[in-house]
Every structure is written in C-alpha cells, then in structure tokens.
A and B are shown apart, each in its own frame.
Chain A
C-alpha cells in the first residue's frame, strides 16, 4: 500500500521540507504513521484521502524548530544514473521552481494548491482538510492567482 501511494508521501515531504535530510525524515515519519494507523482504516474514505490526511497532519503538526535555510532551488542532488538515462533537466528545473514557489505559501494554502495540482475534487479536499467545499470554491480563485503570480515571479527571478 505504501509502495503504491509513496508518491503522495514523497510530494508532501518535498513540499513541506526544504532540506533533503529533512525531507527524508518527514518521509520516514509519514510512513511510520501510516503503518501505525493502518488498523484504524475502516474503508469509509478512499485510501488516498486517508493517506493525504495522515501525511498532511504529520507534516503540519510537527512543531519542531526547522533548520533555518535560504530558499533556493538545488540541482546538485540528481543521482548520476538519471543523467545517463535521459534525465530531463529542464523539467526538473521547472519542477524545482514550482516547489520553491509553492513553499512560499502558508501551510494551508500549500496543501490546497497541492490538492488542486493533484486534481482532487472539492469533496475530497473537504474530507482531507475539513474546510467546507463552498468556501474552498470561493477561495480557490484567490489561491490560484497567488500561485500564478508566484510561479511567474519564480520563473522571471523576481518576488
């Protein structure tokens, strides 16, 4: 189950932690929490919804002091084998910029943007976040605008 949905955990770890080490720690913590909570899963929500909740609760609820880091996009972590197998540097650069832009939003807007990019329905967003669908719909335009501006600023190196 974790192998199938590992992508969700990976994305949330990358979105909520900047340093690679912190991302690994968060990934590990989420996997442990999913594993520990598994006996409580009753099937009343989609498994992906359930994993999003655990992952976001773990990422947001970890109130330890994070290392102070300068928000930069790092490109020196690519494993060498990816270079040999036609690794798309341009795409990874754009993704890095996208992550950096989203990380500049507050914790909740970050979660909403991620769920929007993941093409989750408003109903599922409500189940994950606990914010009513009506309010999400109303606020979504403002959040989309923010995202548009942030990505524009990231690409043009401003803001």
Chain B
C-alpha cells in the first residue's frame, strides 16, 4: 500500500464516538493513575502510617514506665521530624518529575534526571536513617541500662570507656548499615531500575534521530 493511500486510510478512520458531557464529567471525576500520581498517593499513605505509628510510640513511652524511658519518645519525635523532611523532599522531587506540556524530548530528559535524583535520595536517606537509628539506640541503652557493659563488650562499663565501647559497637553497626544499603539498592533497582532503563532507551532513540 502506498503512503498516500495509508494517509487516506488513516484520516478516514472514525474518530472517538460522540460522547455526552456526562461521560467526560464522570471521566474527570476519576483519579489519575499515572505512575507519578500513584507514587505520590503511596508516599502520603506512608507519611500518615509513619506519623501515627511514631506518634503512638512516643505517647506510650511518655506515659508508661513512670517517665523513665521518655528518651525513647524523643528519639521517635526526632525520627518523625526527620521523616517529614524526607517526605517533603521526596514529594517535591515527584512533583517536579514531569513537564507534561513540554515537548517529548525535554520531558523525557527531565523524567530521567528526576527519577535518578529520587533514587539517589532514597538510597542515601535509607542508609543514613539506619545508621543514625542504630547509634541512637546504642546511646540510649548505654545511658539508661545499668551494668549492660558487664554483659556486652559493645557497651561502656567501669573498665571500658564510651569511646572504647563505641569503637567496638561501630563494627556491627557499620556491617548492618552496609547490608541495609545493599538491600535498599536492590529494592530500588527492582522498583525503578527497569523504568529508568526504558526511559533512557526511548531518549537515546530520540537522540539518535536528532544527531
């Protein structure tokens, strides 16, 4: 079939069947199912769950044990604050991820850059969170649990200073942080790796055409 007849065939096709306003109104009342919209919804859900959970734990340790463990409450409040910053940064990255009205090439470039930034932030914050959390708990136990150093080399005692115990504890904490880093990396690759590669492939198709 020649190209002119293809054009003729293409332009002779019936367009969308005539729909009434009700149809479009119903369509517009549905929520967006784009990947970015879904990621934003998941993030909001995650924020609500984390804040409820951390808030609950913080209140519990304020009230229970005659206020001995209020340090735990403060740790959770600090973690909650950290999470809000984390959430804000991630949400902002998601909001900037797409320029739907830009031309296709610049939108693709923007999506890849933002997604890569998003992934780097995810990996960095996940690793830092585990590291900080372990040191928080180590410090809290070292201060609040008497004679722990007599049972474990990782905690200070009468014969072991904070620095010595800390240096010993650093090894398992670094190992756990390393494992968590690898696990986070694996999860991120599973969640976003294929998408990034696909977008890069499409962009390279465009760049080949434009070279």
Q: Which of A2-17 contact B (CB under 8 A)?
A: 2-3, 6-7, 9-11
Known: A57-B102, A147-B6. A29 touches B12 (CB 8 A): no
| B86 CB to nearest A CB, Å | 23
Q: Which of B165-211 contact A (CB under 8 A)?
A: 194-195, 198-199, 202, 205-206, 209-211
* Total chain B interface residues with beta-carbon distance under 8 A: 44
Total cross-chain contacts (CB, 8 A)? 142
Which chain B residue lies CB-closest to A145?
Answer: B3
List, in ascending order, chain B residues with CB within 8 A of A126's CB.
103
In contact, A3 and B34 (Cβ under 8 angstroms) = no
Which chain B residue lies CB-closest to A24?
Answer: B27
In contact, A131 and B28 (Cβ under 8 angstroms) = no
Could you tell me the distance between the alpha carbons of A11 and B12 in the complex, rounded to whole angstroms?
A: 12
Q: Which of B101-137 contact A (CB under 8 A)?
A: 101-108, 111
| B133 CB to nearest A CB, Å | 32
A100 interface residue (CB < 8 Å to B): no
List, in ascending order, chain A residues with CB within 8 A of B210's CB.
130-132, 135
Q: Which of A81-133 contact B (CB under 8 A)?
A: 91, 94-95, 98, 106-109, 111-112, 116-119, 126-132
List, in ascending order, chain A residues with CB within 8 A of B101's CB.
37, 40-41, 50, 53-54, 57
Could you tell me the distance between the alpha carbons of A40 and B9 in the complex, rounded to whole angstroms?
A: 35
Contact partner of B103 (CB less than 8 A), chosen from A9, A28, A40, A129, is A129
List, in ascending order, chain B residues with CB within 8 A of A9's CB.
16
In contact, A131 and B209 (Cβ under 8 angstroms) = yes
* Total chain A interface residues with beta-carbon distance under 8 A: 60
Could you tell me the distance between the alpha carbons of A54 and B92 in the complex, rounded to whole angstroms?
A: 21
| B9 CB to nearest A CB, Å | 6
Could you tell me the distance between the alpha carbons of A142 and B203 in the complex, rounded to whole angstroms?
A: 19
In contact, A32 and B27 (Cβ under 8 angstroms) = yes
List, in ascending order, chain A residues with CB within 8 A of B12's CB.
91
B: which residues have CB within 8 A of A?
Answer: 1-3, 6-7, 9-13, 15-16, 18-19, 24, 27-28, 30, 32-35, 98-108, 111, 194-195, 198-199, 202, 205-206, 209-211
A: which residues have CB within 8 A of B?
Answer: 2-3, 6-7, 9-11, 25, 28-29, 31-33, 35-37, 40-41, 50, 53-54, 56-58, 60-65, 91, 94-95, 98, 106-109, 111-112, 116-119, 126-132, 135-136, 139, 144, 147-148, 151-152, 155
